[in-house]
Amino acid sequence: MAKPSTGTLTAIGLMMLTFAPIPAWSSSNVQTIAFIRHGEKPESGLGQLNCQGLNRALALPPVIAKTLGKPDFIFAPNPADQKKDGGELYDYIRPLATVEPTAISFGLPVNASIGVSDRKDLTKALSKPELRNARVLVAWEHKKIDNIVSDLLTANNGDATSVPKWSGDDFDSIYVVTITRNGEAAKATFEIKHEGLNGQSQTCPH
Protein backbone atom coordinates (compact mmCIF):
# COMPACT_ATOMS: atom_id res chain seq x y z
CA MET A 1 0.00 0.00 0.00
CA ALA A 2 1.34 3.43 -0.95
CA LYS A 3 2.11 5.79 1.93
CA PRO A 4 0.19 9.10 2.02
CA SER A 5 2.18 11.96 0.59
CA THR A 6 3.45 14.79 2.77
CA GLY A 7 0.92 17.11 1.13
CA THR A 8 -1.94 14.74 1.96
CA LEU A 9 -0.85 14.51 5.61
CA THR A 10 -0.63 18.30 5.81
CA ALA A 11 -4.14 18.67 4.38
CA ILE A 12 -5.51 16.12 6.85
CA GLY A 13 -3.79 17.96 9.71
CA LEU A 14 -5.32 21.27 8.65
CA MET A 15 -8.77 19.69 8.45
CA MET A 16 -8.36 18.28 11.96
CA LEU A 17 -7.41 21.73 13.24
CA THR A 18 -10.36 23.28 11.42
CA PHE A 19 -12.85 20.91 13.01
CA ALA A 20 -11.18 20.64 16.41
CA PRO A 21 -13.46 21.42 19.38
CA ILE A 22 -13.42 25.10 20.37
CA PRO A 23 -12.27 25.68 23.97
CA ALA A 24 -15.23 26.37 26.27
CA TRP A 25 -14.12 29.92 27.23
CA SER A 26 -13.26 31.11 23.73
CA SER A 27 -16.74 32.55 23.13
CA SER A 28 -17.08 34.06 26.60
CA ASN A 29 -18.06 37.62 27.45
CA VAL A 30 -15.55 39.72 29.39
CA GLN A 31 -16.77 42.64 31.49
CA THR A 32 -14.32 45.07 33.07
CA ILE A 33 -15.58 47.38 35.82
CA ALA A 34 -13.28 50.11 37.14
CA PHE A 35 -14.29 51.77 40.41
CA ILE A 36 -12.89 55.17 41.34
CA ARG A 37 -13.45 57.38 44.34
CA HIS A 38 -14.42 61.03 43.98
CA GLY A 39 -11.69 63.63 44.08
CA GLU A 40 -10.45 65.53 47.12
CA LYS A 41 -13.03 67.41 49.17
CA PRO A 42 -13.15 70.57 51.32
CA GLU A 43 -12.79 70.23 55.10
CA SER A 44 -16.45 71.08 55.60
CA GLY A 45 -17.53 68.57 52.97
CA LEU A 46 -20.45 70.43 51.38
CA GLY A 47 -21.07 67.39 49.17
CA GLN A 48 -18.58 69.06 46.86
CA LEU A 49 -15.02 68.85 45.51
CA ASN A 50 -12.29 71.28 46.45
CA CYS A 51 -9.93 72.80 43.86
CA GLN A 52 -7.49 69.89 44.13
CA GLY A 53 -10.34 67.44 43.55
CA LEU A 54 -11.51 69.45 40.55
CA ASN A 55 -8.01 69.37 39.07
CA ARG A 56 -7.90 65.60 39.60
CA ALA A 57 -11.21 65.26 37.77
CA LEU A 58 -9.94 67.34 34.85
CA ALA A 59 -6.79 65.20 34.60
CA LEU A 60 -8.70 61.91 34.76
CA PRO A 61 -9.81 61.26 31.13
CA PRO A 62 -6.41 60.12 29.75
CA VAL A 63 -5.87 57.97 32.85
CA ILE A 64 -9.15 56.17 32.25
CA ALA A 65 -8.32 55.79 28.56
CA LYS A 66 -5.03 54.10 29.49
CA THR A 67 -6.34 51.99 32.37
CA LEU A 68 -9.75 50.92 31.06
CA GLY A 69 -10.01 52.07 27.47
CA LYS A 70 -13.05 54.01 26.32
CA PRO A 71 -15.88 53.15 28.71
CA ASP A 72 -19.14 51.84 27.31
CA PHE A 73 -21.08 52.88 30.41
CA ILE A 74 -20.46 55.32 33.28
CA PHE A 75 -22.20 55.31 36.66
CA ALA A 76 -22.25 57.83 39.53
CA PRO A 77 -24.66 58.24 42.47
CA ASN A 78 -27.80 60.32 42.18
CA PRO A 79 -26.60 63.82 43.19
CA ALA A 80 -29.97 64.57 44.78
CA ASP A 81 -29.39 61.74 47.27
CA GLN A 82 -28.28 63.67 50.35
CA LYS A 83 -25.35 62.63 52.52
CA LYS A 84 -24.01 64.02 55.79
CA ASP A 85 -20.81 66.02 55.46
CA GLY A 86 -19.44 67.55 58.65
CA GLY A 87 -22.74 66.79 60.37
CA GLU A 88 -24.82 68.64 57.77
CA LEU A 89 -26.89 67.14 54.96
CA TYR A 90 -25.87 68.14 51.43
CA ASP A 91 -26.72 66.96 47.94
CA TYR A 92 -23.92 64.50 47.20
CA ILE A 93 -22.42 65.64 43.91
CA ARG A 94 -18.72 64.76 44.42
CA PRO A 95 -18.63 61.49 42.42
CA LEU A 96 -20.63 62.93 39.53
CA ALA A 97 -18.45 66.06 39.45
CA THR A 98 -15.36 63.82 39.42
CA VAL A 99 -16.47 61.70 36.49
CA GLU A 100 -18.09 64.43 34.38
CA PRO A 101 -14.90 65.53 32.55
CA THR A 102 -14.30 61.89 31.56
CA ALA A 103 -17.88 61.45 30.36
CA ILE A 104 -17.67 64.70 28.37
CA SER A 105 -14.29 63.72 26.91
CA PHE A 106 -15.65 60.40 25.64
CA GLY A 107 -19.04 61.78 24.60
CA LEU A 108 -20.96 59.56 27.00
CA PRO A 109 -23.95 59.97 29.32
CA VAL A 110 -23.71 59.22 33.03
CA ASN A 111 -26.22 56.92 34.69
CA ALA A 112 -26.92 58.84 37.91
CA SER A 113 -30.23 57.21 38.76
CA ILE A 114 -29.06 55.10 41.72
CA GLY A 115 -28.68 56.45 45.26
CA VAL A 116 -25.27 56.32 46.89
CA SER A 117 -26.45 53.83 49.54
CA ASP A 118 -28.40 51.63 47.12
CA ARG A 119 -25.68 49.00 46.91
CA LYS A 120 -27.93 46.17 45.73
CA ASP A 121 -29.43 48.32 42.97
CA LEU A 122 -25.98 49.20 41.63
CA THR A 123 -24.82 45.57 41.74
CA LYS A 124 -27.98 44.56 39.89
CA ALA A 125 -27.46 47.28 37.26
CA LEU A 126 -23.84 46.22 36.71
CA SER A 127 -24.99 42.62 36.17
CA LYS A 128 -27.47 43.38 33.37
CA PRO A 129 -26.99 41.35 30.15
CA GLU A 130 -26.23 44.45 28.05
CA LEU A 131 -23.19 45.18 30.25
CA ARG A 132 -21.72 41.67 30.09
CA ASN A 133 -19.25 42.46 27.34
CA ALA A 134 -18.60 46.08 28.31
CA ARG A 135 -16.08 48.39 29.91
CA VAL A 136 -17.77 50.17 32.81
CA LEU A 137 -16.55 53.11 34.88
CA VAL A 138 -18.11 53.65 38.31
CA ALA A 139 -17.41 56.75 40.44
CA TRP A 140 -18.73 56.18 43.97
CA GLU A 141 -18.22 56.77 47.69
CA HIS A 142 -15.14 54.89 48.93
CA LYS A 143 -16.78 53.21 51.93
CA LYS A 144 -19.39 51.71 49.61
CA ILE A 145 -16.97 50.58 46.89
CA ASP A 146 -15.40 47.88 49.10
CA ASN A 147 -18.75 46.20 49.64
CA ILE A 148 -19.95 46.55 46.05
CA VAL A 149 -16.74 44.97 44.74
CA SER A 150 -17.02 42.15 47.31
CA ASP A 151 -20.62 41.52 46.24
CA LEU A 152 -19.61 41.25 42.58
CA LEU A 153 -16.74 38.87 43.37
CA THR A 154 -18.92 36.67 45.57
CA ALA A 155 -21.65 36.49 42.92
CA ASN A 156 -19.16 35.53 40.21
CA ASN A 157 -16.89 32.95 41.89
CA GLY A 158 -14.21 35.46 42.84
CA ASP A 159 -12.30 35.96 46.08
CA ALA A 160 -14.08 38.62 48.12
CA THR A 161 -11.43 38.36 50.86
CA SER A 162 -8.90 39.93 48.47
CA VAL A 163 -10.65 43.33 48.66
CA PRO A 164 -9.03 45.70 51.19
CA LYS A 165 -10.90 48.49 52.92
CA TRP A 166 -10.47 51.74 51.03
CA SER A 167 -8.41 54.13 53.15
CA GLY A 168 -9.94 57.48 54.02
CA ASP A 169 -6.93 59.39 52.70
CA ASP A 170 -6.76 57.47 49.40
CA PHE A 171 -8.22 59.31 46.42
CA ASP A 172 -5.96 57.64 43.84
CA SER A 173 -6.79 53.93 43.78
CA ILE A 174 -8.76 52.21 41.03
CA TYR A 175 -10.46 48.94 42.01
CA VAL A 176 -10.82 46.80 38.89
CA VAL A 177 -13.14 43.79 38.64
CA THR A 178 -12.94 41.59 35.55
CA ILE A 179 -15.78 39.10 35.06
CA THR A 180 -15.50 36.38 32.43
CA ARG A 181 -18.81 34.68 31.65
CA ASN A 182 -19.68 31.71 29.48
CA GLY A 183 -23.38 30.97 29.64
CA GLU A 184 -24.22 30.53 33.31
CA ALA A 185 -20.59 30.02 34.33
CA ALA A 186 -18.64 33.04 35.57
CA LYS A 187 -15.26 33.84 37.08
CA ALA A 188 -14.30 37.21 38.58
CA THR A 189 -10.85 38.57 39.36
CA PHE A 190 -9.78 41.69 41.26
CA GLU A 191 -6.81 44.02 41.03
CA ILE A 192 -5.85 47.48 42.26
CA LYS A 193 -4.46 50.13 39.93
CA HIS A 194 -3.71 53.80 40.53
CA GLU A 195 -4.56 57.04 38.78
CA GLY A 196 -1.17 58.58 39.56
CA LEU A 197 -2.85 61.95 40.13
CA ASN A 198 -1.90 62.78 43.71
CA GLY A 199 -0.47 66.23 44.31
CA GLN A 200 -2.68 68.16 41.91
CA SER A 201 -2.73 71.95 42.30
CA GLN A 202 -4.85 73.30 45.14
CA THR A 203 -5.71 76.34 43.04
CA CYS A 204 -8.79 76.16 40.87
CA PRO A 205 -8.30 76.63 37.10
CA HIS A 206 -9.39 79.96 35.63
Q: Give tens-digit pLDDT for 156-201.
A: 999 999 999 999 999 999 999 999 999 889 999 999 999 999 999 9
Please check whether residue 181 lies inside any domain of the structure: yes
Please check whether residue 11 lies inside any domain of the structure: no
For the chain, residues with pLDDT lower than 70 are: 1-27
pLDDT of residue 21: 42
Please check whether residue 19 lies inside any domain of the structure: no
**Which DSSP string do the residues of 26-81 spell out, in sequence order?**
GG-EEEEEEEEE-----TT-TTS--HHHHHHHHHHHHHHHHHT-S-SEEEEE-TTS
Please check whether residue 178 lies inside any domain of the structure: yes
Q: How many contiguous H segments (helices) and E segments (strands) does the chain have?
A: 5, 8
Looking at the 3D structure of the chain, how many domains does it have? 1
Domain containing 118: what range? Answer: 26-194
Please check whether residue 17 lies inside any domain of the structure: no
Question: Beta strand pairing status for 73-77 and 135-140?
Answer: parallel
pLDDT of residue 28: 80
